[in-house]
């Protein structure tokens, strides 16, 4: 029997894939969008769009965009399910808004639920998404004990899974490279101490969050490694405290710690921004703000406001840019559903925000107000 595929021309098939990448009439796409949607390399896509443009099937637009002159084939709408970490958490809300915008742009149906920072709610929401028969699930929860349970539920339902921030067995991981983020923060903190204090540090406080499990702990390992790379072995001067990843928890534990003994200069390496800001508040209350330097993670609104304060002792915050997650997640999801090769791990790009560069990365931040504060938890 003759294989009909043997008659197909690869160039024509790939040209069809480029045309099929346009999902609705009038949609304008850049070259990189077409590369992401088709999985074809950039050089080949460029040659294809030029050929299709000359052939009258594509229209070249300003700013390097293209629009199809062929009416898109009406395919079944994609339905994605998204379980957010928590509706009252700013980091989570920014991801939700970014994902909703990206889904709307691509005409994808998105069912959003909130895990309310609860492992039980996360398991219930997995059942709800399965019952809704979503095509793919995006899960954002950080409780290690339920990750295998949730992953198994989706596996049995044959629903592909993308896990944000915490790996789930068999799912695609999207999020922070915790070790690298910690390394960046630790190095920055230690370099600040060498430049400002000539390395004269009496104590290094590591503010962790044990309840996060082994994966977020890699951020702590990275911070310790980054500090030791720059300053040498400070293990004997390193104190580990648990602030639970919250502003209030960090403030209480630092306040309690500062009551005992005389101290010189103190470095604080915090697992997230709420912990970093809580530590700063405790040092301020103790009248020791000039004797501390703090680093955090998340690049939250609150941390950015603090970085803009004159004389702040927040050295920096490793930003994760959750407001930009949406397009990446939609691209990964459509790629999986389109049977495109997808890596098991996709790390986000993170950068160290400092007083010197915060306005470069976030030039349009509104004036900080207490009503916008979210100091409870950041990824």
Lowest mean pLDDT among 161-170, 177-186, 208-217, 243-252: 208-217
Lowest mean pLDDT among 142-151, 167-176, 228-237: 228-237
Give the span between the Cα atoms of 310 and 313, in whole angstroms.
9
Residues 219 and 145 in one domain: no
Residue 324 main-chain phi, psi, to 5 deg = -110, 5
pLDDT of residue 94: 92
Q: Within a domain: residue 379?
A: no
Residues 104 and 225 in one domain: no
pLDDT exceeds cutoff 50 at 130: yes
Q: Tokens for 81, please give them.
A: 């399910």
Residues 184 and 306 in one domain: yes
Domain that holds residue 144: 79-176+323-343
CATH classification of the domain holding 20: 1.10.10.10
Residues 360 and 252 in one domain: yes
Give the span between the Cα atoms of 3 and 5, in whole angstroms.
5
Q: Within a domain: residue 73?
A: no
Reported in sequence order, the residue ranges of the chain that DSSP labels E, i.e. its strands, are: 28-30, 58-61, 65-68, 79-84, 109-114, 136-139, 161-164, 172-175, 203-208, 238-242, 266-270, 292-298, 314-319, 345-347, 351-353
Residues 331 and 299 in one domain: no
CATH classification of the domain holding 156: 3.40.50.2300
Final residue of a structural domain among 20, 36, 68: 68
Give the span between the Cα atoms of 166 and 31, in whole angstroms.
31
Mean pLDDT value across residues 106-128? 94
Q: Within a domain: residue 143?
A: yes
pLDDT of residue 24: 62
Number of domains in the chain: 3
pLDDT digits (tens, 9 = 90+) for 65-87: 898 888 776 556 889 999 999 87
SS3 25: coil
Lowest mean pLDDT among 119-133, 136-150, 157-171, 353-367: 353-367
Residues 226 and 295 in one domain: yes
- Residue 277 burial by CB count (10 A; 0-12/13-18/19+): exposed, middle or buried? buried
Average pLDDT, the chain: 89
Give the span between the Cα atoms of 149 and 307, in whole angstroms.
40
pLDDT of residue 7: 59
Q: Go through 193-230 and write b for each residue having 16 or more CB atoms within 10 A of its CB, e for each that does not.
A: beeeeeeebebbbbbbbeebeebbbbbbbbbbebbbeb
Residues 290 and 189 in one domain: yes
Q: Within a domain: residue 377?
A: no
Residues 198 and 302 in one domain: yes
SS3 301: helix
Selection from 320, 314, 221, 219 nearest residue 271 by Cα:
219
Residue 189 main-chain phi, psi, to 5 deg = -65, -45
Give the span between the Cα atoms of 20 and 243, in whole angstroms.
51
pLDDT of residue 209: 79
pLDDT of residue 375: 43
Residues 225 and 333 in one domain: no
Q: Concatenated DSSP letters for 324-349?
A: GHHHHHHHHHHHHHTT----SEEEPP
Q: Which residues contact 86 (CB under 8 A, 6 or more apart)?
A: 92, 114, 115, 116, 117, 377
Q: Concatenated DSSP letters for 181-203?
A: HHHHHHHHHHHHHHHHHTT--SE
Residues 185 and 265 in one domain: yes
Residues 280 and 266 in one domain: yes
pLDDT of residue 298: 94
pLDDT digits (tens, 9 = 90+) for 31-57: 988 998 888 999 999 999 999 999 999
Give the span between the Cα atoms of 42 and 235, in whole angstroms.
48
pLDDT exceeds cutoff 60 at 2: no
């Amino acid at each position: 029997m003759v294989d009909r595929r043997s008659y197909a021309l690869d160039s024509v098939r790939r040209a069809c894939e480029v045309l099929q990448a346009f999902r609705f009439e009038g949609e304008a796409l850049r070259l990189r969008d077409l590369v992401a949607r088709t999985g074809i390399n950039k050089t080949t896509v460029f040659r294809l769009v030029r050929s299709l443009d000359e052939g009258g099937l594509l229209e070249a637009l300003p700013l390097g965009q293209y629009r199809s002159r062929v009416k898109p084939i009406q395919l079944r709408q994609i339905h994605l399910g998204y379980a957010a970490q928590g509706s009252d958490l700013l980091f989570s809300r920014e991801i939700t808004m970014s994902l909703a915008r990206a889904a709307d742009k691509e005409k994808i149906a998105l069912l959003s639920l909130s895990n309310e920072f609860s492992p039980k709610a996360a398991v219930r929401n997995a059942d709800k998404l399965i019952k809704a028969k979503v095509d793919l699930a995006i899960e954002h929860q950080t409780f290690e004990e339920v990750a295998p349970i949730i992953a198994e539920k989706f596996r049995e339902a044959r629903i592909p899974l993308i896990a944000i921030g915490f790996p789930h067995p068999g799912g695609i991981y999207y999020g922070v490279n915790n070790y690298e983020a910690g390394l960046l923060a630790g190095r920055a903190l230690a370099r600040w101490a060498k430049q400002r204090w000539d390395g004269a540090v009496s104590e290094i406080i590591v503010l962790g969050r044990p309840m996060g499990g082994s994966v977020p702990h890699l951020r702590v390992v990275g911070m310790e490694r980054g500090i030791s790379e720059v300053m040498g072995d400070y293990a004997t001067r390193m104190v580990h405290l648990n602030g639970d990843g919250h502003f209030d928890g960090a403030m209480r534990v630092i306040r309690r710690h500062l009551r005992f003994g005389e101290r010189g200069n103190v470095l604080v390496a915090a697992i997230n921004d709420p912990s970093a800001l809580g530590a700063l508040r405790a040092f301020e209350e103790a009248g020791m703000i000039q004797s501390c330097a703090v680093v955090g993670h998340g690049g939250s609104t609150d941390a950015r406001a603090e970085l803009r304060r004159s004389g702040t002792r927040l050295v920096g915050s490793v930003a994760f840019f959750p407001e930009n997650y949406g397009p990446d997640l939609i691209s990964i999801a459509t790629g999986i559903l389109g049977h495109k090769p997808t890596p098991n791990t996709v790390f986000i790009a993170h950068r160290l925000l400092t007083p010197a560069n915060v306005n470069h990365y976030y030039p349009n931040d509104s004036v900080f107000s207490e009503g916008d504060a979210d100091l409870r938890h950041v990824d």
